[in-house]
């Protein structure tokens, strides 16, 4: 009997360990956020699909003139927090930008790069002349443009208005961190960089001393012991090493609870994580609070499972369920092809776009199940790289999904009541690459007696049963989607085909 039970015990060891742990590991909704959703749109999104919303709490709207505080605006943000939470969505406020009356209008020259510079000249009426120059091959500076403009919110704060910035941060954090709002994470600014449009005519050293360091200190002072500082989204126009060097230069690593980057691959996460460990900080939380804004409908199926798998390999678990997140930009655009962001958002008006339907498919598959990797051997024929970090490459991730701890309280109707294994197969189909007719997926340590059913699910969520001989744990997965699936019209521009294989296990 001992020998007969041994394979069963070996396979079930991962299940037994997972079930003994408390509290539960993070879920798909914990990982997934969006930008600019709002409570009305949160009511449209399928339950369990989105866990976070991110938006600008503009200083200029709260204090349009020195000392002229519009508390009603802040109260509306509080009501938005509560309305979002009714739909299972948490709120990440962005503390930004410069109030127009606080902009630094000092005449000056700034250098965006070694070969580009900007000269600001002030006119008598308060407007600014912005002159841009580019360095020629002979070393001379050639003027490229000249414009007369009023100060913009995305320009730097004047040094003598830093106390006003601190006061704004203090008011917002004190209000939103208190009951009943209980906001815990506060993001400082958005995409500050001289080559970004969100921090213009000043250096990153100016940003750190005038914006980040004062705000980080006040968030910790005013938000209570649970308040967390999220960096303001290092943009892809700046090298990650520049970010690391900046934190070193200002001794700022410990002023950040969440390191945040925008529109960058997993390798950027790895570089920040390695730098943190080299400095004795261990693993640090990593978010991307903006990613997306593309028409390629393969992006979410190709990206989300890879980032989730990488995060789990870093030790992401119940004790730190907010350590890893991705936020799609944007959440919504009008249902009109000429609208800004159309074809790039999750929602077109009140309808899910192709991106939105791809996200819904993932949310339905993961449900409220704790996110855990399947760690036993898996083989594919042709061979696919397991847990590869490069997007748009052939690959496979595989997850072990147990039912939610409290099925009665689940927010996703699709959450299963049985243990499941979810394999995610990625096949690059750029430049008309011909795909194999099928992929064989084998799980050699999974007893075939435990397999109750197998389904193939495409990016749109269309499911078909996978038939296989009794007593096998190898499955032939067709690469072509079913003719009746909406993928034929929704995902015509997808450069990667993602296929989900769901194995439901018997109890």
Token pair, residue 471, equals: 């007593």
Q: Which are the contacts of 276, defined by CB distance < 8 A and separation ≥ 6?
A: 253, 259, 282, 283, 284
Q: What is the pLDDT of residue 151?
A: 87
DSSP characters over 321-342: TTSEEEEEE-SEE-SSTTSTTT
Taking the domains of the chain in order of start, what are their residue ranges?
Answer: 1-26+369-507, 28-104+157-366, 106-149
Contact yes or no for 445/469 (Cβ under 8 A): no
Nearest to 500 by CA among 483, 487, 489, 490: 487
- Cα 334 to the chain's mean position, in Å? 22
Q: What is the pLDDT of residue 470?
A: 79
Task: Look at the domain 28-104+157-366 and name its fold.
Answer: TIM Barrel (3.20.20)
Token pair, residue 324, equals: 């890893």
The CA-based dihedral angle spanning residues 331, 284, 364, 348, taken in that order and rounded to the nearest 10 degrees: 10
Instruction: Specify the pTM.
Output: 0.92
CA dist 153 and 97 (Å) reads: 5
Per-residue confidence in pLDDT tens, the chain, 507 aa: 333 333 333 344 444 444 444 667 899 999 999 999 999 999 999 999 999 999 999 999 999 999 999 999 999 999 999 999 999 999 999 999 999 999 999 988 887 788 888 888 888 887 888 988 998 998 888 998 988 888 899 999 999 999 999 999 999 999 999 999 999 999 999 999 999 999 999 999 999 999 999 999 999 999 999 999 999 999 999 999 999 999 999 999 999 999 999 999 999 999 999 999 999 999 999 999 999 999 999 999 999 999 999 999 999 987 789 999 999 999 999 999 999 999 999 999 999 999 999 999 999 999 999 999 999 999 999 999 999 999 999 999 999 999 987 665 555 555 568 999 999 999 998 887 899 999 999 999 999 999 999 999 999 999 999 988 878 899 999 999 999 999 989 998 999 999 999 999 997
The maximal CA–CA distance of the chain, rounded, in angstroms, is 94
| Total number of residues shown for the chain | 507
């Amino acid at each position: 009997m001992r020998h007969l039970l041994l394979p069963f015990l070996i396979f079930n060891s991962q299940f037994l360990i997972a079930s003994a742990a408390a509290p539960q590991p993070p879920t798909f909704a914990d990982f997934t956020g969006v930008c600019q959703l709002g409570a009305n749109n949160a009511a449209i999104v399928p339950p369990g699909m989105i866990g976070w919303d991110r938006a600008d709490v503009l200083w200029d709207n709260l204090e349009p003139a020195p000392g002229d505080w519009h508390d009603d605006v802040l109260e509306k943000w509080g009501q938005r927090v509560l309305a979002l939470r009714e739909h299972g969505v948490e709120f990440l406020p962005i503390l930004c930008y410069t109030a127009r009356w606080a902009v630094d209008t000092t005449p000056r020259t700034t250098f965006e790069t070694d070969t580009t510079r900007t000269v600001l000249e002030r006119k008598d009426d308060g407007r600014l002349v912005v002159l841009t120059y580019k360095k020629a091959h002979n070393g001379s500076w050639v003027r490229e443009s000249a414009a007369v403009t009023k100060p913009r919110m995305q320009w730097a704060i004047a040094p003598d208005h830093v106390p006003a910035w601190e006061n704004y941060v203090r008011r917002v954090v004190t209000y939103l961190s208190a009951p009943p709002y209980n906001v815990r994470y506060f993001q400082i600014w958005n995409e500050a960089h001289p080559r970004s449009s969100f921090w213009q005519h000043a250096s990153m050293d100016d940003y750190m001393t005038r914006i980040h360091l004062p705000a980080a200190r006040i968030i910790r002072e005013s938000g209570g012991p649970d308040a967390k500082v999220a960096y303001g989204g290092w943009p892809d126009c700046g090298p990650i090493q520049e970010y690391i060097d900046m934190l070193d230069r200002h001794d700022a690593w410990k002023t950040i609870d969440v390191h945040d980057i925008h529109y960058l691959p997993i390798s950027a996460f790895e570089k920040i994580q390695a730098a943190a460990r080299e400095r004795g900080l261990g693993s640090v939380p990593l978010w991307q609070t903006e990613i997306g804004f593309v028409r390629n409908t393969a992006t979410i199926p190709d990206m989300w499972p890879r980032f989730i798998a990488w995060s789990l390999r870093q030790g992401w678990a119940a004790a730190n369920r907010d350590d890893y997140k991705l936020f799609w930009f944007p959440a919504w655009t009008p249902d009109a092809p000429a609208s800004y962001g159309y074809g790039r958002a999750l929602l077109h008006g009140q309808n899910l776009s192709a991106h939105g339907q791809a996200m819904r498919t993932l949310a339905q598959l993961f449900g409220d199940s704790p996110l855990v990797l399947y760690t036993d051997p898996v083989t594919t024929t042709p061979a696919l790289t397991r847990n590869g970090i490069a997007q748009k490459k052939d690959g496979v991730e595989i997850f072990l999904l147990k039912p939610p701890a409290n099925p009665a309280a689940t927010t996703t109707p699709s959450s299963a009541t049985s243990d499941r294994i979810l394999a995610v197969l990625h096949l690059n189909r750029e430049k008309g690459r011909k795909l194999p007719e099928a992929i064989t997926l084998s799980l050699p340590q999974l007893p075939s007696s435990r397999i109750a059913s197998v389904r193939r699910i495409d990016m749109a969520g269309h499911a078909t049963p996978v038939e296989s001989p009794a007593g096998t744990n190898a499955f032939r997965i067709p690469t072509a989607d079913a003719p009746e699936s909406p993928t034929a019209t929704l995902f015509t521009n997808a450069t990667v085909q993602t296929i989900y294989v769901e194995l439901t296990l018997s109890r």
